[in-house]
Amino acid sequence: MALKQNRGDVYQEVTDRVIEALERGVPPWRSPLIATAAGDPRNGVSKKPYRGVNIFLLLMTAMSRGYTSPYWLTFKQARSLDGSVRKGEKGTPIIFWKSFEKVNPDIGEPEKIVVARGYRVFNEMQCDLPNARYEPPPTPKPAQTEDVPAADDILNGWPDFWGMLGEGPQPAYRPSADHILMPVPSNFVSKLEWYCTVFHETVHATGHSKRLDRDGITKPQPFGSAGYAREELIAELGAAFLCARAGIISQTFDNSAAYLGNWIKRLRDDPKLIVQAAGKAQQAVDLILGEQLDAISE
């Protein structure tokens, strides 16, 4: 069940949903929803988790409509399970990337083409399905203590991390020296905020030329430029993914008019920004966690 075949329309519909959340004063990548929703959004047939911007899209819907199931299906998938989507239910748009080879007429050789495609999916609670089809969903347990072993495991599990970390007056990543500078945890409101901040800087570090080689890190990006904003959004989204993995709910998040207004303007200027930044953030998280999962198409 295709959402829209026009690539630009797919980007625009997703961007419009994120802008709506920002206009309500809820930045999706900073909202507690990502760590408090019922389990990671996952496909109801494969049981694999969705990735990238799809995580935010599905969690926003789940929170606004009160869905407690983490499982989502296309219309066809619901029918394949001997069930159906209830009449009148509205689907949630998601994006996946489809690749194929096409001969480049200029060089006469095949080249890989990657195209964004959109689908609508429905939460299990929007469907009539045999109950036996699903095992109980995982129940996330947000961290209640200052020290978060799961967050420490993430940092300790990336071989590059401790060799980069050093003490500094302000949080920063310096590409020239490949160093992450962080104030001591006692300078933060809480240890949880220290984790959130160090995750942000660690995502920046994945962009170094010897890692993922992102332009936002390897090429000078003037403050306030589109390139600077893109790299900051990658780090914001990546930190949110890592906090969710560790079960951390940020104690504070910026919902000031200036902060929200800046992101609304950026997204309106570039409808591709949120989708592409989320994809880059997912790559960064994969590198840090040492994982590589297949993207979910349906």
42 forms beta bridges with 49, 71
59 in Cβ contact with 36 (< 8 Å): no
pLDDT at 56: 86
Looking at residues 249-255, what average pLDDT do you find?
Answer: 67
Instruction: Kindly indicate the confidence band of residue 36, based on its pLDDT and cuts at 50, 70 and 90.
Output: low
Instruction: Kindly indicate the confidence band of residue 8, based on its pLDDT and cuts at 50, 70 and 90.
Output: low
Percent of the chain with pLDDT over 90: 52
Q: Is the pLDDT of residue 76 over 70?
A: yes
Instruction: Kindly indicate the confidence band of residue 127, based on its pLDDT and cuts at 50, 70 and 90.
Output: very high
Q: Give the Å distances, CA to CA, from 289 to 81, 119, 140, 283, 286.
A: 33, 28, 19, 10, 5
Looking at residues 15-39, what average pLDDT do you find?
Answer: 77
Q: Is the pLDDT of residue 294 over 50?
A: no
pLDDT at 166: 95
Tokens of 296: 């979910």
Instruction: Kindly indicate the confidence band of residue 297, based on its pLDDT and cuts at 50, 70 and 90.
Output: very low
Other Cβ atoms closer than 10 A to 149: 12
179 in Cβ contact with 250 (< 8 Å): no
